[in-house]
Amino acid sequence: MSMELVSVLETGDPVFVSMVKSYLDDAGIPYIVQGENLRGLVGASLFSPSNPILAPVVVKVRTRDAGRALEIIEDLNKRYKKEPEGEYA
C-alpha cells in the first residue's frame, strides 16, 4: 500500500523546522523531512543563518493529514514570526 505525500513547508530556517516537527509529533501527524541532514554535511548548523545556496528543508505529510498540518504550521508561523519565510503548499 503506497502513501501519497505532499509538501506542507519549505524553509531554510532550522529552528522553525524543529518547532514544526515538535508540533506535528504532538498532533500525531507522521511526517518526513528532506534536506535536513544535507545542511549538516555542508557545515550549516542550528545556529547559522539561512543560506540561500542550500536547498530548503522540505516537510512532507500524508495527503489526508495535509489540512491539519497546514493549520498547525500557519498558527505556529503567526506566533513565531511577523513575516513568513517559508512557503506553504
Domain ranges (residues) in the chain: 5-80
Least confident of 1-5, 14-18, 74-78, 80-84: 80-84
Q: φ and ψ at 50, to 5 degrees?
A: -60, 135
5-80 — its CATH code? Answer: 3.30.70.790
| Single pTM value for the model | 0.74
In terms of Cα–Cα distance, which of 22, 16, 21, 36 is closest to 81? 16
CA dihedral 40, 42, 46, 49 (to 10 degrees): -160
For 17-73, how does the pLDDT look when each residue is reduced to its tens digit (9 = 90+)? 999 999 999 999 999 999 887 655 555 554 455 555 567 899 999 999 999 999 999
pLDDT for res 20: 97
**Number of residues in the chain:** 89
